[in-house]
Structure formats: structure tokens, C-alpha cells
Amino acid sequence: MASAAEKLQRVTGSHVGDAQARAFMDPRREGRRIFAEAWGTFLLVVVAAGGGVVAAISGDAIPLAMRVIAPGLLVMAVIYFMGSVSGAHLNPAVTLAFALRRNFPWRRVPGYLLAQVVGGVGAALFLRSVFGSVGELGATLPGAGISGGQALAIEVLLTTGLVNTILGTAAGARNIGPNGALAVGGYIALAGLWAAPISGASMNPVRSLAPDLVRGNLHTTWIYLVGPGIGALLGVWCEWVLKGGPTPEGTAAAQGELDGEGGS
């Protein structure tokens, strides 16, 4: 009979320890992971979209630079406090990339995506209930004079870099630790600092879809669905070129490291 590690290897394509594999394959822990993804995405969208909302009601008391750095700091914190539970994807593009990279089983992708959408929409509803429909609910939109094609190109580029950063740090078992948190959070802040005036620097379909759904305006949503999707594919391709096949460390980062009775 195949061990838990062998079963997990068949669905992810990489080697992991048997204890870790048993923990990850244990369906009793799936609810914890789903909750972690929903809660983490809620926090991310509250911060990312909330910056625009608060700026609108405070007369731009929060400068753009502060608004784009905040999501990077939030992602950094989430990786620290729950990366070991679910892998802290918080982004459908990241979940897709981990699955394409064979670090994450496809059968678990729908649950993660649903959790992320629920968390994101919940955050947008929270912002509307507290502040009303101001500041376009923090929606990501092409900047003044920027065409849809230009914004799409930037979202593809930014997401490619984000996915490459996440996969690259995960490949060395660093995504669930200080190096991965700093690298990923730092990249998000850096991308926002130079690209937010162009496309909003979303890099995350749910971060953009949630405010658009709640405010009832989907005219530019396609940019933030297609762009990160293509960027995820390109990011995975870059990682294959740079490092070859998937690694056990990458699988551990994508799945979390719950093990034993005292696992988080």
C-alpha cells in the first residue's frame, strides 16, 4: 500500500516527508486551511481597498505611497502568522501558480479559490457598511490617460514578477519564514510604488473583483482577471527555466506545515 508521502507525490510531483504528507492529506484539517485563506484575503482586501476608501473620506490624508506600501506589509504579516497553516496564498493567481508548478494538488484549488472570493467580497461589503460607497470602494482602475491594453500589460508584468518571487523563495523553504515574508511583502510594496498610477498594481484577481462586484461596476474587471492569469503562467515558466522541476520545500510552502496534534 502506498504511503501518504507517495500519494501526495503523485498529485504534486514532488517529494515530501511522510508525516507532513499525512497532515496535509488529512481532510479534518482542510476547514482550518480554508478559513485561513478566507480570513487572510479578507484582511488583504480591507487594507488594499480600504486605503483608497479612507483617502477619499479624509481628503487624501493618506498619500498614495502609504496606500501601496500597506498591502505589502499586511502580506508580510499574514505569511508570518498563518503561512504554516495554508501557505498564505491570498490570491487566485498564486494558487494557480502553485498548482501549475506541481506544488499543490488541483483537487484543492476550488476550495482555496472559493475561500479567497468569499474573503475578498466580505472585505468589500465590510468597507461599504462602515464607510458607504465612497472612493469607488478602493477599486483598482487604469490611471488617467492609461488605456486598457496598457494597464493589462503592466498587470501581466507585475504578476509575473510576484509569482516568480513567491515560487523562488518557496523553492528554498523560505516562504514560511522571514526571507519569504520580506521578499514577497517587499515586492508588493515596490510594484505599487511605481505602477499604482498606471494600473492600480493589483496583481490579484480577487482584490480587484471584490470591490467591482460590490459597487456593481465590472467594466474594467477583465484587466485584473486576465492580466494576473497570464502573469501566473509566465511566472511558473520563469521558475522552470531558473530552477527546473518542483522541490519538496516548494510543496511545503504551498501547503503549509500542519503536523501532529499540536499543529496550528
**CA–CA dist 241, 160 (Å, integer):** 13
3-state secondary structure of 245: coil
Angle between helices 178-199 and 148-170 (to 10 degrees): 180
Residue 54 in any domain: the answer is: yes
Exposure letters 227-240 (e unless 16+ CB within 10 A, then b): bbbbbbbbbbebbe
Residue 3 in any domain: the answer is: no
Query: Please, which pLDDT band fits residue 27 given cuts at 50, 70 and 90?
Result: low
Question: Given this model, what pLDDT does residue 59 score?
Answer: 86
Lowest-confidence pick of 25-29, 80-84, 233-237:
25-29
165-194: pLDDT as tens digits: 999 887 654 444 457 889 999 999 999 999
Residue 217 in any domain: the answer is: yes
Residue 104 in any domain: the answer is: yes
Residue 4 in any domain: the answer is: no
Residue 6 in any domain: the answer is: no
pLDDT, mean of residues 230-245: 94
pLDDT, mean of residues 46-75: 93
Q: How many domains does the chain have?
A: 1
More confident residue, 18 or 158: 158
Eight-class DSSP state of 22 = H
Does pLDDT of 247 surpass 50? Answer: yes
User: Which DSSP string do the residues of 96-154 spell out, in sequence order?
Assistant: HHHHHTTSS-GGGHHHHHHHHHHHHHHHHHHHHHHH-S-GGGG---PPTT--HHHHHHH
Give me the chain's average pLDDT, please. Answer: 87
Given a contact cutoff of 8 angstroms between Cβ atoms, the answer to whether 4 and 23 are in contact is: no
Question: Which range marks the domain in which residue 148 is found?
Answer: 14-255
User: Which DSSP string do the residues of 9-20 spell out, in sequence order?
Assistant: HHHHSS---HHH
Q: What is the CATH number of the domain that holds 244?
A: 1.20.1080.10
Does pLDDT of 26 surpass 70? Answer: no
Nearest CA to 188 among 98, 77, 85?
77
Residue 7 in any domain: the answer is: no
Given a contact cutoff of 8 angstroms between Cβ atoms, the answer to whether 97 and 232 are in contact is: yes
What percent of the chain is modeled with pLDDT above 70? 83
pLDDT, mean of residues 109-122: 98
The pTM score is 0.86
Cα distances (angstroms) measured from residue 245 to each of 14, 230, 238:
8, 20, 11
Residue 31 in any domain: the answer is: yes
Given a contact cutoff of 8 angstroms between Cβ atoms, the answer to whether 32 and 257 are in contact is: no
30-50: pLDDT as tens digits: 899 999 999 999 999 999 999
Phi, psi of 134 (to 5 degrees): -115, 155
